[in-house]
Amino acid sequence: MDSGEFRNNSKTKVQNQLNVLSELRRCGFVSNAELSRIFKVPPTSTLRILSSLEELGCIKKSFTEKNRGKVGKPAAYFEVSSDAGVVMVVDAGVRTTAFALVDYAGKISGLKVLETADIIQNYAEAIADEISMLKGKCDLPEEQIVVVVAVSGSVSGNILRTRFLPAGYDLKGRLEQLLGREVYMENDANLAVMAEKDDAGIYSPTSVLCILDRSDVGTGIVIDGKLYRGFSGVAGEVYDVVRKARHTGIYLDVFAHAEIGDAEAVETLDGILEELTDHFVRLVRMLDPEYFIFAGEVSKAGNEFQKKLIERIEGRGRMTAFNMPEIIFSRLGDLSVIAGAGWLGIGMLDGMFLSGKV
């Protein structure tokens, strides 16, 4: 965390509170003395922020394992109050629709996955039913609950364009009517890049691209630390890689068959690697990012597949001379979109807590 982000004046009180909350979520728990060292400010400054967050119910004292065996009074550690709020997440994808709870500290629970084809006839109604069941697991007031829907498609305001729902299908409006509350909706790749960026420990205002390879292929774009959504909210969509390779685990399967000499698998594998390399080179040339993250199916395809992909990319780089970013393979697997939606909802909760609306 850059100490320059912490300022000691009244105009930046809320931003200082957000910085401290972010650090607590990143570390799990931390003492005032540690926060003071992290932000390079006097302990009285960080203690003032901690006290205000504790009064709001955002954080609580935590006497952790760090204190065991030490002489003297145990130091007071602080952690985010995980039960202060909850985000109900829907990951609405072409192949599957997933549901989960994300608590105020960022922990994911209650994951449930349905085949989209099984509920598509009454899609909004089916989602509303699942959200109602999730709500039954939460003993919280309405104002401490946020609903976020991540969608594989273009999201701009209330306008949604996706290939698995009819044109003009008002998913947000229908859900809000059924649930009687506001629903936040965002493109899945936009959410994934923010979650992947944090999971990789990239906190500085740099540029990051994240290919989310699922039923469609999208790219989340962060430029100078800020999400770039594009005019229609879906900047970076590159769509299909190899259409017949669009279901979970196929990359591993294709690679295994190619390794034993299956001619069709060899051809399919070559096509997948070439398409992914094309997308990589085109995006890197346009945006020149410092980091490039592969999420979704590529992140689960195994080390050997990933080595082949890097070899293909490096070979193209030697031929065409472009700046090579640091390549990262996601550790979040199928949870990157849910995690990103959770962080979006947590941001909404932060705003409500710090503005006194909760």
CATH code where residue 52 lies? 1.10.10.10
Inter-residue contact 275 to 242 (CB < 8 Å) = yes
- pLDDT at residue 241 tops 60: no
The DSSP H or E segment spanning 221 is strand 217-223
User: Are 68 and 134 within one domain?
Assistant: no
pLDDT value at position 121? 95
195 within domain boundaries = no
Between strands 59-62 and 77-80, the pairing is antiparallel
Q: How many domains does the chain have?
A: 3
Query: Of 80, 114, 148, at which residue does a domain stop?
Result: 80
Does 224 share its domain with 314?
A: yes
What's the CA gap between 351 and 18, in Å, rounded?
9
What are the structure tokens assigned to 280, written together?
């990589």
Domain C-terminal end among 24, 50, 80: 80
Examine the domain organization and report whether 236 and 327 are in the same domain: yes
| Two tokens, residue 243 | 């259409």
Q: Is residue 196 assigned to a domain?
A: no
Tell me if 228 is assigned to some domain: yes
Asked if 113 and 238 sit in the same domain, the reply is: no
DSSP SS3 for 299: helix
Distances (CA, A) of 23 to 85, 86, 100, 223, 335: 18, 19, 24, 22, 22
d(CA 318, CA 185): 41
- 66, burial (CB in 10 Å: exposed 0-12, middle 13-18, buried 19+): middle
Identify whether the C-beta of residue 150 lies closer than 8 Å to the C-beta of residue 91. Answer: yes
The mean pLDDT of 170-194, rounded to a whole number, is 94
Query: 245 falls in which pLDDT band (50, 70, 90)?
Result: very low
The answer to whether residues 123 and 149 belong to one domain is yes
Tokens of 213: 């390879």
284 and 217 share a domain?
A: yes
**pLDDT value for 65:** 57
Q: Please report whether residue 180 resides in a domain.
A: yes
What distances in angstroms separate CA 130 from CA 34, 90, 127, 323, one per listed residue? 42, 9, 5, 46
DSSP 157: T
Residue 322's nearest CA partner among 311, 314, 331 is 314
For residue 111, tell me if it sits in a domain.
Answer: yes
Q: Is the pLDDT of residue 11 over 60?
A: no
What CATH number is given to the structural domain containing 167?
3.30.420.40
Q: Are residues 18 and 69 in the same domain?
A: yes
Query: Residue 88 — φ and ψ, nearest 5°?
Result: -95, 115
List the structure tokens of 227.
């999400």
> Is residue 69 scored above 60 in pLDDT?
no
* Whether residue 164 is found in the same domain as residue 63: no
For all residues of the chain together, what is the average pLDDT? 87
Helix axis angle, 32-39 relative to 13-27, nearest 10°? 110
Cα–Cα distance, 257 to 322 (Å, whole number)? 32
- What phi and psi, each to the nearest 5 degrees, are found at residue 210? -135, 110
Give the pLDDT mean for 50-61. 93
278/272 Cα distance (integer angstroms): 10
Task: Assess if residue 310 is contained within a domain.
Answer: yes
Q: Residue 76 pLDDT more than 50?
A: yes
Looking only at the bridges linking them, the beta strands covering 217-223 and 226-227 are antiparallel
Summarize the confidence of residues 46-70 as an average pLDDT: 81
In this predicted structure, the answer to whether residue 240 has a pLDDT above a threshold of 70 is no
Q: Is residue 350 situated within a structural domain?
A: yes
Same domain, 182 and 131: yes
CA-based diameter of the chain, in Å?
A: 70
Please name the amino acid found at residue 329: F
Instruction: Return the closest-CA partner of residue 87 out of 104, 74, 70.
Output: 104
Question: Does residue 330 share a domain with residue 212?
Answer: yes
Q: Tabulate helix, strand, coil % of the chain (nearest 5).
A: 50, 20, 30
Q: What is the band of 242 on the pLDDT scale with cuts at 50, 70, 90?
A: very low
Cα Rg, the chain, nearest whole Å: 22
Alpha helices in the chain (DSSP H): 13-27, 32-39, 43-56, 116-119, 123-135, 171-179, 188-199, 250-259, 263-287, 303-320, 336-354
Q: Is 255 found in the same domain as 220?
A: yes
Domain span at residue 304 reads 201-334
Nearest in space to 302 (alpha carbons), one of 350, 252, 238, 342: 252
Whether pLDDT at 292 is above 60: yes
Please give the distance of CA 178 from its chain centroid, rounded to a whole number: 26
Whether residue 164 is contained in a domain is answered as: yes
Res 244: pLDDT:
46
Does residue 329 share a domain with residue 206?
Answer: yes
Which residue, 55, 80, 105, sits at the end of a domain? 80
